[in-house]
Structures are given as C-alpha cells and as structure tokens.
Amino acid sequence: MAGARGHFALLVALLVAIAVVPVSGCATDAGPGDDGATDNGEAATGEPYRIGAVLSLSGTLAGLGEPERNTILMEVERINEAGGVNGRPIEVLIEDDASDAETAVAVTSRLIERENVVALIGATGTGGTMAMRQEVDRAGLVQVSVAGGTVITADFHPYVFQTPWSNSIVVPFTLAYLQDQGISRIALIADSGGFAKDGVDVMKDHLGDFDVEIVAEESFNPGDADMTSQLTKIRATDAEAVVLWNAGAEAATVAKNMAALNFDIPLFGSHGNARVEFIEGAGDAAEGFRFAAGKVLVPEAYGEGTPEYEVATDFIERYTERFGKAPDTFAGHAYDALYLIVEAMQRLPEEFTSADLRDEIEATSGFVGIGGTFTFSPTDHNGMTEDNLVMYDIRDGEWILAE
Amino acid sequence: MGGVELLQFALAGLKNGAIYALVALGFTLVYAATGAINFAQGEFYMLGGMLSVWAYAGLGLPLPVAGLVGVALTAVVGGVFEFLAVRPRKDGDLLAIIIITVGGSMVLSSAARHLFGPLEKALPAFSGTGTVSIFGAVLEIQSLWILGLTTLAVLALWYLYNRTSLGRAMRACAVNRDAARLVGIDPRKIVTVSFVLAAALGALAGLAVTPLTQTAFDVGPSVGIKGFAAAILGGLGNPIAAVAGGIVLGMLESLSIAFISSTYKDAIALVVLLGVLFWRPQGIFGASRREKV
C-alpha cells in the first residue's frame, strides 16, 4: 500500500471532517420550500397574511419538528375555514432548518426577504432559535419560539416569545417535588446537549432554595450506546434518586441500564422525556419513571370541564383522528405559538405594524393553550408558571399523574 | 473502589468495545480491498437496525427472521452502493472514493429518514431482558449476544481469509492489486464482496445493539466515528487488530469514566488514540508497512 503515512494524515483530516458531516449533511435532505404549506381556506378570501415557521424536519430534532409541522398544517386549515384573520386567510410557510443553526439563519433570511412574512414561529431547537435572533432583530419581526431553552427569554429581546415551559420553571418544580418526597441527595446524569446543559445550570442555581444536594454528576454524549459505567459510579454513592436531564433516545438506555444494575432508587426525568418513544424503548424499565411536564399527556390534569380541558381534548381528538396518534407536548408548543400570533392579529385592525403585533402579543392575558394558560408581561415572554406543570409517573406503560 | 465495581466497569467497556469492534471490522474489510475508508459504514449499522425493525414491526416477521432480513437487505444495499457509486470511479482514486462514501452516507440516512420517519424505533431483546451475574457484576443477556456475535464474526472472517479461495483472493488484492490481477483475480469483484461483507457486519452490529438503545435514521455517524477510531487504533486492514482496537477503545472510555470524568471520556480516548498513533502509526496491532525502495 503506497504511502501509508500520507494516507494517515488524510484519515485524521477526515476524522475531523466527518464530525461536521452529520450536521451540515442533513441540509441536503429537504430543500427549502419543499414543505411550504399553502392551504388557502374557502371561508377566508383575499390576500393571505404570511407567517414563517422554521422547524427541524430533518436532523436530530426531526422527532420534534414533525408533530410541530402536523399541528400547524392542521390548525391553519381550521383557522381559515373559520374565517381567517379579519376575513383574510393566513398562510404559514414552513422551512426545514435540518436541526442546524446556520441553516435556520439562512431560511429565516429567505422568509423575511423573499416572502415578506409578518411573524416567525420557531425554531424547533434552542440553538436555531438563538441563531435566528440576528435576522429577527434586523427585520424587527415578532418571533415565537417552540424551543425550551431558558436562555431564549432569559436573554430578553422585546420581539422574542417562547411557548414551552423553560427549564427555569421545570427545574424548581422538580426539585420541590423531590423535597416533598423526602429525597435530599440526588445523582445527576445529563447529556452534553444544550437543553441538558441548560437544565443542569438552572438546577445548580436553584439548589440553595431547596433541601436537595447533588452527590454525583455524570454525563454522556448523544448517541452513546451504554451508560453502565456512569451508573456504576452513581450506584457507589449514597444518592436517594437519580435525576436524568436530556431530550434524546438515550433516556431509554439509561432506564434500561439502571434496571439491569438492579438500582433500588427511583429515576426522575424532565419534560424532554415526555415522548411515547421513551416508553416503547425502555419497556419494563420505564415503570416508575417520573417527570414533570404540561398537562396535555393526561388532559384530566387540567380538571374536567375547565376551559383548558375543553381546548386540549378538542385538539387531541382532531389531531389523533388526522394523524393516527395522540399529539405530544411538542405539538402543543406549536399550537400555542400559532394561536398566540393569530389571536393577537385578530385583535388588531387589518393593517398593522410589527410593533403593533409585538405589543398585542405582549398584552396576551389568560390565553388558554395546550401548554397551559399564557399571560405575558413586558418582562415575561414565556408566560408560563409552575401551575401549568404536573408530575407524571409511568405505570403499565402509560402516563398517569404521580401522587 | 471495590473489585465488583471494577469488574462492572470492565464489563461495560467490553460491551461497548464489542460494538465498536463489529463496526471496525467493516472499515477494515473495505480498507483491505480498496485502500480507502468507507464513511458510509455507520449507515450500514443504522440500516441493520432500521430494516430489522421494519421487517419485525412492519411486516410482522418473527424476530430471528426479521433480523436475517435486515442484515441481508443491508448487505444488498452495500453491494448496490459499491456497484453504482464506487465502481464507476475506475481509477480507484482514494480521495474520490472516500468522498463518494461520505456522500453515500448522507444519501442513505436521508433515505432512511424519508422511508421510516424521524422517530426512534425499538426492537425486543433476542432472548428476554434478563441479566446474568458475574462475581456480583451484571451483564444484560443481550450484551452476551453482542459478545457472541462479535466472536462469531471474527471466527467467520478468519475462516474466510485463511481457508477459502475467495479469502485468499481478498488478501492477495490487499497486498497488491496489480499482481492479483496478473494471477487472474478480478479486483472489482473483490471490492464488491468487501462492501457486501462490510455492510452485513455493520448491520449485524446495528441489529444486536438496537434492543439496548433503539435506533433511528441518524445513529450512523457517531457509531461510525467510534468504529473508525477503533479500526485505526488496532491497525487498519487486519480483522483481529480491529477487534482488539474496539475492545481497547471501549475499555479506555469505561475506565476514563471510572477514574477521571464522564465529561471527558471521548476526549481522553481521542488523546490516547493520537498518542498511540504517534508511537505506532500503523496501529497497536497493525503490521508495519514500511516501504521497500
């Protein structure tokens, strides 16, 4: 084999190059505009209001982007059949950011320059959402993100809103629950992604408010096949519970590894694990797994007969009928983002500026959505509180409300 | 740290190492035949899992049959990929082939995304979710399957290389393509066979691991990098070295977690990899390929 050393230099270069491929490579997956929704309703006529949506339909966040797109397609039809906004239909142009921040910027720029959108939904991920900000800032457009990172609204921008419960709400809620359960020593295991890092940082900030301490802290990488080593280290500590913070498929592996190692302490997760794929993947090991999330998974949590319950069950019914499975929390975040924008537009006169729309969304008070009831203020663009959360427990492969 | 814990870390390392080893074997086979690195190897791992899930859950086949279908279909994909994408590059230019395989990996994962959707998929364990206890440390039965299949794959490859005329032809090609052609071996056929076998081995790994981790269209690249690192660490072109490289890499990661920090496990493994390569560029177990002038 000629020049083995020369080849080696080439191989190392490629080892570095390939690390970039999974991210940028997916951009070829679906070209911009492939998924542009052009559902013009019959009830509403005239020039449509155009809203841009930047969602991850390919790449690592595709599992979140798909229910978000489904929801937007379904609800846009419903809104237009009901007369649209001020008699004019709305049109949501959905662009795929391939779970990549750079692509999110590029498609956002296209939506702003070429499509003249009046507002933006997205991105699916926190990284994409933050990367879009330069474009949002430049164009002075309203952005309603469906990503969960605390930074999105903590790093405040007057034109940026966020529908998911951020870690800054879920973490204290979870810590309070642990304290109520008499658990004071926890072992933390989190992946190296942005959502988990954010969760861990928020947790460390809030520890002082609770009688809970972290006795072990382990991490893993997205894509790791086995966390037995990390859990073996945790098992050697005097932790009374394991708290997992991540949003990927590895959660099921953690649960299964714990079961294999015969752990006798419970496992707690986060709203990032509120996916039926976790239960399918972990099987029996999912039993007793507890995590905090919004009430959409078990609508009875809203309280039967309440407006929240009516809105959620109606949505769940229509979504399940159309797509053959119940909506998850991510579908709910997209629902909330769309209606927060549309209802503000409906309250405005036919012609409005971005500043008018921003002010009107900020004035939203008591909007009943899927994630909860939203009330924004000039300093709070998330609008959620711990009241919108409940603790779930997995029993016999189903979500039930934890005691 | 007690002895039981140490054993548990070693078992975890062995299990991860066996996974890396199966993927590394695929890299080694294609490298031996072409001198190039096949960056689509991780996608064969992904396809093995995804196609098996499709055959099991989608077609309703029994698990063993579904697994065979998944591995066989992936092997076919490997052969077709070689025939359509690699073979047309007749001059065998290494850089071109490497770039072709990078492109191929994107095509395969995008195709899987469109055919099977973006969500992760589960497969039941081959023989129950139980564990076995070894001096107080535990190992899932599925991990025994992984270790067993890795051993079987190595034995089968050893047999192929040393006891069959096809294997001898493959080795001849690896040593010198032109000389092999002079004695009547068609190197193009050998390259195709290598891709088919590499795809089957990658698929076998994906199939065996899916019950533990689930699978999705995007699991290929991260596993591919680990397998690639294992192949280089052991020494490219030699199946035994690839397996040894995989086990060493798995152990390194596990012991990094045990004694240093889980945050830096990959970084530590990479530093050791680079260190080893400065010391022995041909890999720990690779034969020296010094040029004779």
DSSP sequence for chain B? --HHHHHHHHHHHHHHHHHHHHHHHHHHHHHHHHSS--TTHHHHHHHHHHHHHIIIIIS---HHHHHHHHHHHHHHHHHHHIIIIITT-TT--HHHHHHHHHHHHHHHHHHHHHHH-SS-B----BTBS-EEEETTEEEEHHHHHHHHHHHHHHHHHHHHHHHSHHHHHHHHHHH-HHHHHHTT--HHHHHHHHHHHHHHHHHHHHHHHHHHH-B-TT-HHHHHHHHHHHHHHH-TT-HHHHHHHHHHHHHHHHHHHHHT-GGGHHHHHHHHHHHHHHH-TT-SSPPP-PPP-
The DSSP-derived string for A107-167 is HHHHHHHHH--SEEEE-SSHHHHHHHHHHHHHHT-EEEE----THHHHS--TTEEE-SPPH
Q: What is the pLDDT along chain A (403 residues), one digit of tens a residue?
A: 444 445 555 555 555 554 444 443 333 333 333 333 444 444 677 889 999 999 998 877 888 899 999 999 999 999 999 999 988 999 999 999 988 899 999 999 999 999 999 999 989 988 899 999 999 999 999 999 999 888 899 899 999 999 999 899 999 999 999 999 999 999 999 998 778 888 999 999 999 999 999 999 999 988 888 999 999 999 999 999 999 999 888 999 999 999 999 999 999 999 989 988 899 999 999 999 999 999 999 999 999 889 999 999 999 999 999 999 899 899 999 999 999 999 999 999 989 999 999 999 999 999 999 999 999 999 999 999 999 999 999 999 999 999 8
A191: three-class secondary structure by DSSP: strand
pLDDT attached to residue A22: 41
User: Angle between the B220-234 and B187-213 helix axes, to the nearest 10 degrees?
Assistant: 120
pLDDT attached to residue B128: 86
Q: Is the pTM of this model over 0.90?
A: no
Q: Is residue B291 part of a domain?
A: no
Q: What is the ipTM of this complex?
A: 0.87
Which residues from B are below 8 Å from A285, CB to CB?
129
pLDDT attached to residue A36: 38
How many beta-carbon pairs below 8 A join chains A and B? 160
Token pair in block for residue A378: 């000039």
Task: Provide the mean pLDDT of chain B.
Answer: 90
Subunit contact A225:B16, Cβ cutoff 8 A: yes
A350: three-class secondary structure by DSSP: coil
What are the two backbone dihedrals, phi and then psi, of residue A325, each rounded to the nearest 5 degrees? -155, 160
Same-domain check for residues A190 and A106: no
What are the two backbone dihedrals, phi and then psi, of residue B245, each rounded to the nearest 5 degrees? -60, -40
For residue B289, is pLDDT > 70? no
Token pair in block for residue A342: 């549309």
Q: How far apart are CA B100 and CA A12, in angstroms?
A: 17
- Largest CA-CA distance found in chain B, in angstroms, rounded: 60
Give the minimum alpha-carbon distance from A371 to chain B in angstroms, rounded to a whole number: 22
Give Cβ neighbours of residue B250 (< 8 Å, ≥ 6 apart): B12, B13, B14, B15, B16, B17, B18, B19, B20
Measure the CA dihedral B187/B193/B194/B197, to 10°. Answer: -170
Q: How many domains does chain A have?
A: 2
Token pair in block for residue B259: 């004694």
Of A8, A60, A253, the CB nearest to B212: A253
Q: Is residue B292 part of a domain?
A: no
User: Angle between the B94-116 and A4-25 helix axes, to the nearest 10 degrees?
Assistant: 30
Subunit contact B228:A62, Cβ cutoff 8 A: no
Same-domain check for residues A53 and A97: yes
Same-domain check for residues A215 and A340: no
Of A11, A66, A284, the CB nearest to B118: A66
Q: How far apart are CA A294 and CA A152, in angstroms?
A: 19
Subunit contact A58:B35, Cβ cutoff 8 A: no
Same-domain check for residues A294 and A393: yes
Of B129, B219, B228, the CB nearest to A283: B129
Phi-psi region of A140 (alpha: psi -120 to 50; beta: other; left: phi over 0): left
Mutation site, A20, A57, A217, A226, interface B, largest B CB count within 10 A: A226
Q: Is residue A277 part of a domain?
A: yes
Same-domain check for residues A172 and A141: no
What are the two backbone dihedrals, phi and then psi, of residue A214, each rounded to the nearest 5 degrees? -95, 120
CATH code of the domain containing A180: 3.40.50.2300
Which residues from B are below 8 Å from A192, CB to CB?
263
Same-domain check for residues A103 and A207: no
CATH code of the domain containing B120: 1.10.3470
Tens digits of per-residue pLDDT, B38-92?
Answer: 999 999 999 999 999 999 999 999 999 999 999 999 999 999 999 999 999 877 7
pLDDT attached to residue A37: 41
Of B5, B12, B266, the CB nearest to A221: B266
Look at strands A389-395 and A290-294 and give their pairing.
Answer: antiparallel
The answer to whether A258 touches A370, Cβ cutoff 8 Å, is no
Q: How far apart are CA B136 and CA A169, in angstroms?
A: 41
- From residue A295, alpha-carbon distances to A71, A75, A251, A292, A401 in Å are 17, 20, 21, 9, 9
The answer to whether A7 touches A1, Cβ cutoff 8 Å, is yes
Which residues from B are below 8 Å from A12, CB to CB?
277
Q: Is residue B289 part of a domain?
A: no
Give the minimum alpha-carbon distance from A117 to chain B in angstroms, rounded to a whole number: 28
DSSP assignment letter at A237: S
Q: Is residue B293 part of a domain?
A: no
Subunit contact B262:A233, Cβ cutoff 8 A: yes
Cβ atoms < 10 Å from Cβ of A135? 22
Same-domain check for residues A394 and A247: yes
The DSSP-derived string for A17-86 is HHHHHHHHHGGGTS-TTTT------SSS-SSPEEEEEEE--SSTTHHHHHHHHHHHHHHHHHHHHTTTBT
pLDDT attached to residue A141: 95
Of B8, B110, B214, the CB nearest to A228: B8
From chain B residues 110-129, the ones with a CB under 8 A of any chain A CB are: 110, 113, 117-122, 124, 129
Subunit contact A250:B1, Cβ cutoff 8 A: no
Same-domain check for residues A393 and A254: yes
Residue whose tokens read 């699916």 = A124
pLDDT attached to residue B54: 97
Same-domain check for residues A120 and A52: yes
Look at strands B137-140 and B131-134 and give their pairing.
Answer: antiparallel
pLDDT attached to residue B91: 79
pLDDT attached to residue A207: 93
Tens digits of per-residue pLDDT, B22-38?
Answer: 999 999 999 988 888 99
Of A10, A18, A220, the CB nearest to B262: A220
Search chain B and give the residue with CA nearest A56: B118
Give Cβ neighbours of residue A53 (< 8 Å, ≥ 6 apart): A68, A69, A72, A92, A93, A94, A95, A120, A121, A122
DSSP assignment letter at A240: S
Of A250, A253, A261, the CB nearest to B138: A261
Mutation site, B214, B219, B255, B289, interface A, largest A CB count within 10 A: B214
Q: Is residue A376 part of a domain?
A: no
Q: How far apart are CA B269 and CA B262, in angstroms?
A: 11
Give the minimum alpha-carbon distance from B196 to chain A in angstroms, rounded to a whole number: 22
Same-domain check for residues A118 and A265: no
From chain B residues 143-202, the ones with a CB under 8 A of any chain A CB are: none
Residue B101 is part of which domain span? 3-279
Of B119, B228, B263, the CB nearest to A63: B119
Average pLDDT over residues B249-256: 93
Q: How far apart are CA B271 and CA B277, in angstroms?
A: 10
Give the minimum alpha-carbon distance from B213 to chain A in angstroms, rounded to a whole number: 5
Q: How many domains does chain B have?
A: 1
Q: Is residue B284 part of a domain?
A: no
Search chain A and give the residue with CA nearest B111: A29
Give the minimum alpha-carbon distance from B223 to chain A in angstroms, rounded to a whole number: 7
pLDDT attached to residue B292: 44
Of A25, A223, A232, the CB nearest to B9: A232
Mutation site, B120, B133, B288, B289, interface A, largest A CB count within 10 A: B120
Whether the CB of B76 is below 8 Å from some CB of chain A: the reply is no
Whether the CB of B276 is below 8 Å from some CB of chain A: the reply is no
Subunit contact A281:B120, Cβ cutoff 8 A: yes
DSSP assignment letter at A211: T
The answer to whether A129 touches A122, Cβ cutoff 8 Å, is yes
Q: How far apart are CA A295 and CA A288, in angstroms?
A: 18
Which residues from B are below 8 Å from A68, CB to CB?
none
Q: Is residue A381 part of a domain?
A: no
Same-domain check for residues A350 and A229: no
What are the two backbone dihedrals, phi and then psi, of residue A99, each rounded to the nearest 5 degrees? 60, 30
B176 pLDDT band, cuts 50/70/90, is confident
Cβ atoms < 10 Å from Cβ of B128? 10
Give Cβ neighbours of residue B119 (< 8 Å, ≥ 6 apart): A63, A66, A277, B216
Residue A39 is part of which domain span? 28-147+328-369
The candidate with the shortest Cα–Cα distance to B40, out of B84, B93, B88, B99, is B99
Which residues from A are below 8 Å from B245, CB to CB?
none
Same-domain check for residues A186 and A41: no
From chain B residues 78-107, the ones with a CB under 8 A of any chain A CB are: 94-95, 98, 102, 105-106
pLDDT attached to residue B288: 58
